[in-house]
Structure 1
Amino acid sequence: MSPRTKEQNEAIREMRMRQIMQAAADVYLEKGIHMEVRDVAVKAELGYGTVYHYYKNKHMLLEDLLWSALSLAESAVLPAIEGNGNDMGRAELYSRLLFLKCIQDPSVFILLKTIADNFHQMPGNRFQKLMAVFQERLYLPLVEMIRQETAEQAPEKLANLIFGSIVGCATLHIHHRGQSGPDSLDVIDILFSGIRKRES
C-alpha cells in the first residue's frame, strides 16, 4: 500500500475538522460551556486523541467554532449586503438569510446567541477581536441599511431588535425540533411588517 499523498491527507484533515465542528455545535447545544473535548470526540465518533490532536482544550475548540460560524454567517448575508434595491428590502433579505442560516447550521446560532449574551460564559478577553469583526462585517452593515431607509434616530436599536428576534425564534426552532415551530418566512414577514407599520 502506497503512502497517502499530501492532497489525500489534506482531504482527510478537512473531513475530520467538519466532523469535529458539527459535533462541537451539537454538544454545545446540549451542554453549553460544560461540554468537554471528550464529549465532542464521542459525538463525532472519533478517538479522543484525534480530536485532542486538533484542539488541546474546549476553549480553543469553541473559539474556532465561533470564527468559522462568523465566516458562514457573513457568506450567507452577502447577497443582501451587496444587493441592489431599497435598503429596508435588503435589511429584510439580510434578516431572512441570517435566520435561515441559524436554523440550518447550529454554529451560526451559537455565535449569535453567544454575542447576544456578551460572551458571558466565555473565559477572559479572548473574544474581543471576534466581537469587533462581527460588529464590522455583520452588525454595522445592517445598521447602515436601516439608517438609509428609516427616520429612526437610533438605527442600532432596530438592528438589536432584529438580531434579538432572530436569536429568540431560532432558539424556539432549535430546542423544540419536531414540534410546530416558527416558519422562517412568517417570522421575518411579521417582524418587518411591524417595522414598516411603525415607520409609516
Structure 2
Amino acid sequence: MSPRTKEQNDAIREMRMNQIMNAAAEVYLEKGIQLEIRDIAVKAELGYGTVYHYYKNKHMLLEDLLWDALDRTESAILPALTGDGDSLRKAEVFSRLLLRKCVEDPSVFIFLKSVADNFHHFPGNRFIKLSADFQERIYLPFVELIREGISSDSPEKTANLIFGSLVGCTALNIHHHMQSDIDVEGIVDMIFSGIQAKERSTE
C-alpha cells in the first residue's frame, strides 16, 4: 500500500482533532474541569495514546477548544453585525443567533460560560488574551448595538444582562436535556420586550 499524501495526513489530523474536541465538550458538560484525557478518549472511542499524541494534558486541549469556540461564536453572530436594519433589530438578531449557537454547539456554551465565570476554573493567566479577543470581537460590537439602539444609561449593564440570560437559559436546558425544546424566539422576545419596557418607564 502506498504511503499517505500530506493532504491525506492533514485530513486525518483534522478529523481526529474534531473528534477529540467534540468528545471533550461532551465530557466537560458532564464533569467540568475534573475531566481527564482518558475520559475524552473513551467518549471519542479512541485510544488514550491517540488523544495524548495531540494533547499532552487537558488544559492544552481545553484551551484549543475555547479558542475554536470563539471563532465559531464570531461566525455565528456575524450576519447580525453585517446585516440590514437598525441597531436594536441587529441586537435582537445577534441574541437569537448567539442563543441558537449555544444550544446547538456545546463548545460555544462552554466558552461563553467560561467567559461569564472569568475563566476561574482554569489555572494561571493563560486566558487573558482569549478574554481580550472576546471583548473585541463579540462583546464590544454588541455593546455598541445596544448603545445605538436603546437609550440606556449603561449599555454595558444591558449587554451583561442579555448575555447572562442567554447563557443561563442554555444551561438550564442543557442540564435538563431539553436542548431541542428551547424556544429561542420566545426567550429573546421576552428579554428585549422587558428591556424596552424598562427604558420607556424611565423616560
TM interval, shorter chain, is over 0.9
1:76-98 deviation line (CA, Å, top 9, x unaligned): 00001112211010000000000
Assess if the C-alpha contact under 8 Å between 1:81 and 1:94 holds in 2: yes
2:26 aligned partner, one-letter code: D
Runs of 4+ in 1 over 3 A off after TM superposition: 178-182
Describe the shift of the 1:29–1:182 C-alpha distance in structure 2 as closer, same or farther (beyond 3 A).
same
Match for residue 129 of structure 1?
Answer: 129
Match for residue 6 of structure 2?
Answer: 6
1:195 aligned partner, one-letter code: I
Describe the shift of the 1:12–1:118 C-alpha distance in structure 2 as closer, same or farther (beyond 3 A).
same
Describe the shift of the 1:62–1:179 C-alpha distance in structure 2 as closer, same or farther (beyond 3 A).
closer
Please give the TM-score of this superposition, normalised by the length of structure 1. 0.97
Describe the shift of the 1:111–1:178 C-alpha distance in structure 2 as closer, same or farther (beyond 3 A).
closer
Matches within 5 A, 1:182-197: 182-197=182-197
Match for residue 70 of structure 1?
Answer: 70
Number of equivalences: 200
Please give the secondary structure, in 2, of the residue aligned with 1:121: coil
Match for residue 18 of structure 2?
Answer: 18
Assess if the C-alpha contact under 8 Å between 2:150 and 2:196 holds in 1: no
1:14-69 deviation line (CA, Å, top 9, x unaligned): 11011000000000000000001111111001111111111000000000000000
Describe the shift of the 1:49–1:177 C-alpha distance in structure 2 as closer, same or farther (beyond 3 A).
same
Match for residue 173 of structure 2?
Answer: 173
**In structure 1, distance between residues paired with 2:88 and 2:175:** 30
Please give the TM-score of this superposition, normalised by the length of structure 2. 0.96
Please give the secondary structure, in 1, of the residue aligned with 2:198: helix
Describe the shift of the 1:149–1:179 C-alpha distance in structure 2 as closer, same or farther (beyond 3 A).
closer
Please give the secondary structure, in 2, of the residue aligned with 1:88: helix
Name structure 1 gaps, 5 residues minimum.
Answer: none
**In structure 2, distance between residues paired with 1:5 and 1:184:** 45
2:155 aligned partner, one-letter code: P
Assess if the C-alpha contact under 8 Å between 1:172 and 1:181 holds in 2: no
Describe the shift of the 1:102–1:178 C-alpha distance in structure 2 as closer, same or farther (beyond 3 A).
closer
Shift of 1:147: 0.6
**In structure 1, distance between residues paired with 2:180 and 2:107:** 22
Identity of aligned residues (%): 68
RMSD, matched Cα: 1.2
Shift of 1:180: 8.4
Shift of 1:179: 8.4
Describe the shift of the 1:82–1:180 C-alpha distance in structure 2 as closer, same or farther (beyond 3 A).
closer
